């Protein structure tokens, strides 16, 4: 019995097993063969001149290909090809391995750099190379969930490493540094700032232990989940690690737990409004401690932590793990602490108790 692919196409209903079969088939066909069909049958043929071998050219090609964070693609291009000057295979600007040109390359394996000889795919132009990268790594591919699912560009860069795109342990850091540098340059294409940040809310009230005194841990867990989405499912995962280092109220235990997940952070007692704005603008939530009892003119208490997720001209946007604090009187009016607005007028006397640069907080 002869099998024709046209028969498969005839009965395609985009069922899961059919999509997996088409994705598998695509992975078996050389990119240049697929492109020849695209050139022949697309209404607008693909030509090498469509997108230039520049940051802006790669950015546009990545957008067209469907990358949610095209700036990450552009940063990969800059890092992998020396800003378009060096390729592995023909028109291969991303070090994409496969049948094609064989060259020596460095890989970080078992804690050290070694040189290996590997094959790299040859592409007919930059656009086809970008499309291959986006289709295989940014979009869902078979059972693989693409890095388009990341909540922000930095998390996207980190997810590439987690999913095995690169062996270099500092790969994500390098991509983030390139983006930070380039997107502050005139003529760049910066991401619109998100304010407040889309941080997932976590209540301390349902914590598996010490619910009434794990606000510090829940606040840090919210920051961690935002910066590294795949690190934990919820704050209980994080809290178990915290108690392995010390008590939940201990800042050193929090820093050790964050370091366990790869977040470099520090505890400071000289936080300020300007510092909070700087961190939010950089896409980093801020766990902060404040006095939550007593009248706003005479705040008291051993302290409580929340996670600052944004700001505006009137105050801070916060996730308060215990609920909605009445900042005037120091009582809690509700157990829902998600995305609350705490005014500068009533929150800062409780946070900046000893002056405009006296706030206790964790800075990532």
pLDDT tens-digit readout, 32-88: 676 666 655 554 444 444 688 999 899 999 998 999 999 999 999 999 999 999 888
Query: Are 160 and 24 part of one and the same domain?
Result: yes
Predicted confidence (pLDDT) at residue 172 exceeds the cutoff of 50? yes
User: 36 with 177, same domain?
Assistant: yes
Structure-token pair, residue 248: 């939940």
Confirm whether 187 is domain-assigned.
no
CA-based nearest residue to 33, from 123, 116, 101: 123
Mean predicted confidence (pLDDT) in 161-173: 87
pLDDT at 141 over 90: no
Claim to verify: residue 346 and residue 305 sit in the same structural domain = yes
Q: What is the pLDDT of residue 189?
A: 39
Residues 236 and 344 in one domain: yes
Both 157 and 301 in one domain: the answer is no
Q: Would you call the peptide bond into 149 cis, given omega within 30 degrees of 0 as the criterion?
A: no
Residue 20 confidence (pLDDT) above 80 = no
Q: Which residues are within 8 A (CB) of 2 and not within 5 positions of it... i.e. 6 or more apart?
A: none
Within-domain flag for 194 = no
pLDDT digits (tens, 9 = 90+) for 266-308: 999 999 999 999 999 989 999 999 999 999 999 998 899 999 9
Domain that residue 17 falls in = 13-182
Residue 221: predicted pLDDT: 97
So what's the pLDDT on residue 237? 96
Q: Are residues 109 and 252 in the same domain?
A: no
pLDDT at 185 over 50: no
pLDDT band at 184 (very low <50, low <70, confident <90, very high): low
> What local confidence, expressed as pLDDT, does residue 43 receive?
46
As a whole number, mean pLDDT of residues 88-107 equals 82
* pLDDT score of 170: 87
Of the two residues 184 and 187, the one the predictor is more confident about is 184
The residue among 289 and 23 whose pLDDT is bigger is 289
Give the confidence band of 117 by pLDDT, cuts at 50, 70, 90.
Answer: confident
Mean pLDDT check: name the lowest of 30-39, 220-229, 315-324: 30-39
Of 156-170, 277-291, 336-350, the poorest mean pLDDT is in: 156-170
Q: Which residue among 182, 212, 245 closes a domain?
A: 182
Choose one of 133, 150, 182: the last residue of a domain. Answer: 182
- Please enumerate, as own/partner, the contacts of 168-175 that have beta carbons within 8 Å and a separation of 24 or more: 168/108, 169/108, 171/79, 174/79, 175/72, 175/75, 175/76, 175/79
pLDDT of residue 6: 66
Q: Which of 117, 147, 182 is the last residue of a domain?
A: 182
In a domain, 265, yes or no: yes
- Whether 20 and 163 map to the same domain: the answer is yes
Question: Contact at 8 Å (CB) between 341 and 314?
Answer: yes
Single pTM value for the model: 0.54
150 and 234 share one domain: no
How many domains in the chain? 2
CATH number of the domain residue 117 falls in: 1.10.530.10
281 and 208 co-located in one domain: yes
Q: Is the confidence at residue 127, as pLDDT, over 80?
A: yes
Q: Which stretch of 180-189, 209-218, 312-321, 348-357 has the lowest confidence by average pLDDT?
A: 180-189
Please report the pLDDT score of residue 144 as a whole number: 83
Task: Indicate whether 180 pLDDT > 70.
Answer: yes
More confident residue, 73 or 3: 73
What pLDDT, on the 0 to 100 scale, is given for residue 36?
Answer: 63
Residue 306, in any domain of the structure:
yes
Reported as a single tens digit per residue, the pLDDT across 228-242 is 888 999 999 999 999
Residues 166 and 208 in one domain: no
Residue 195 included in any domain: no
At residue 45, the pLDDT reads 45
Residue 8 lies in a domain: no
Q: What is the mean pLDDT of the chain?
A: 87
Burial of 187: CB neighbours in 10 Å, binned 0-12, 13-18, 19+: exposed
Nearest to 167 by CA among 98, 114, 102: 114
State what percent of residues in the chain have pLDDT above 70: 84
**103/286 Cα distance (integer angstroms):** 45
- Same domain? 163 vs 251: no
- Shared domain for 212 and 286, answered yes or no, is yes
Question: If you compute the radius of gyration of the chain from its CA atoms, what whole number of angstroms results?
Answer: 25
Chain-centre distance of CA 192, in angstroms? 15
Residue 4 lies in a domain: no
198 domain-assigned: no
Res 47: pLDDT: 47
Q: What CATH number does residue 322 fall under?
A: 3.90.70.10
């Amino acid at each position: 019995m002869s099998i024709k692919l046209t028969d498969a196409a005839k009965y395609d209903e985009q069922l899961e097993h059919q999509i997996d079969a088409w994705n598998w088939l695509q992975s078996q066909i050389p990119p240049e063969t697929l492109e020849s069909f695209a050139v022949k049958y697309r209404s607008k043929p693909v030509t090498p001149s469509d997108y230039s071998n520049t940051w802006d050219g790669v950015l546009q090609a990545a957008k067209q290909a469907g990358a949610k964070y095209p700036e990450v693609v552009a940063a990969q291009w800059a890092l992998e090809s020396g800003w378009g000057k060096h390729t592995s295979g023909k028109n291969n600007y991303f070090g994409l391995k496969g049948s094609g040109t064989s060259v020596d390359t460095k890989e970080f394996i078992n804690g050290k750099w070694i040189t290996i000889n590997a094959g790299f795919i040859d592409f007919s132009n930059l656009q086809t190379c970008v499309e291959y990268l986006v289709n295989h790594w940014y979009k869902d591919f078979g059972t693989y969930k693409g890095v388009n699912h990341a909540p922000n560009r930095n998390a996207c860069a980190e997810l590439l490493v987690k999913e095995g795109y690169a062996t270099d342990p500092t790969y994500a850091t390098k991509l983030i540094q390139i983006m930070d540098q380039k997107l502050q340059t005139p003529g760049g294409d910066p991401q619109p700032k998100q304010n407040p940040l889309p941080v997932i809310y976590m209540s301390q009230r349902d914590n598996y232990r010490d619910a009434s005194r794990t606000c510090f841990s829940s606040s840090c867990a919210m920051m961690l989940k935002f910066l590294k989405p795949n690190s934990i499912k919820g704050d209980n995962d994080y809290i178990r690690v915290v108690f392995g280092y010390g008590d939940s109220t201990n800042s050193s235990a929090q820093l050790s737990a964050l370091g366990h997940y790869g977040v470099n952070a520090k505890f400071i007692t000289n936080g300020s409004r300007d510092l909070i704005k700087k961190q939010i603008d950089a896409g980093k939530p801020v766990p902060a401690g404040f006095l939550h009892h007593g009248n706003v003119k005479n705040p008291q208490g051993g302290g409580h932590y929340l996670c600052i997720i944004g700001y505006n001209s009137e105050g801070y946007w916060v996730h308060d793990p215990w609920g909605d604090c009445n900042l005037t009187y120091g009582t809690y009016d509700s157990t829902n602490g998600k995305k609350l607005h705490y005014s500068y007028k009533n929150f800062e006397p409780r946070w900046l108790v000893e002056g405009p640069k006296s706030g206790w907080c964790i800075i990532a």
